[in-house]
Amino acid sequence: MKTLYIMRHGKAEDGFEKADYKRKLTSKGIRRSREAGEKLKEMGVQLDAIVCSNANRTVETAEIMAEVFDFPSTEIQKVKELYLASVTVILDCINSFDDRSSKILLVGHNPGVPELLTVLSGELIDWAPTSFLVAIDIQTDKWNEVGKVSAKISATLIP
């Protein structure tokens, strides 16, 4: 079995004077992302990999999660294609994950995060608040089967 932890980035600053891609987390976004990570860690979770889009706000969220989990920040995989990606693009990324990893955190954006959860679980999820984190158990040993096999939401964390 594989477990995918799907998280929307923390609360970001307004983008009035900055390109969307460069927006950073607010103090609230930092605090709530850390809370989500700490709650997940309290559940006994160990992460094998962390993957995020390379937008500032997702990278910062991933770095906070790495810190909470004592995961080397240099090993965070920053994937340009995940920035505001469609479900198809996100699934392509997931399908390329290394099968030696069983528990992976994916940090992304709306609308891709809730759309991915809906596709994988069959449960309608139309919006994900910032720092929203869901664990989804996938009945496979191969990441390239994700999206084609049974998956179930096993935990939802909203800080």
pLDDT in tens, 90-126: 999 999 999 999 999 999 999 999 999 999 999 998 8
Label residue 127 by pLDDT band (50, 70, 90): confident
Indicate the residue type of 5: Y
Q: Percentage of the chain surpassing pLDDT 70?
A: 100
**What distances in angstroms separate CA 143 from CA 1, 5, 14, 55, 129, one per listed residue?**
10, 13, 35, 24, 26
Show Cβ contacts of residue 46 under 8 Å, excluding neighbours closer than 6 positions.
Answer: 69, 103
**Residue 17 gets which letter from DSSP?**
T
- Structural fold of domain 2-157: Rossmann fold (3.40.50)
Label residue 130 by pLDDT band (50, 70, 90): very high
Per domain, the residue ranges of the chain are 2-157
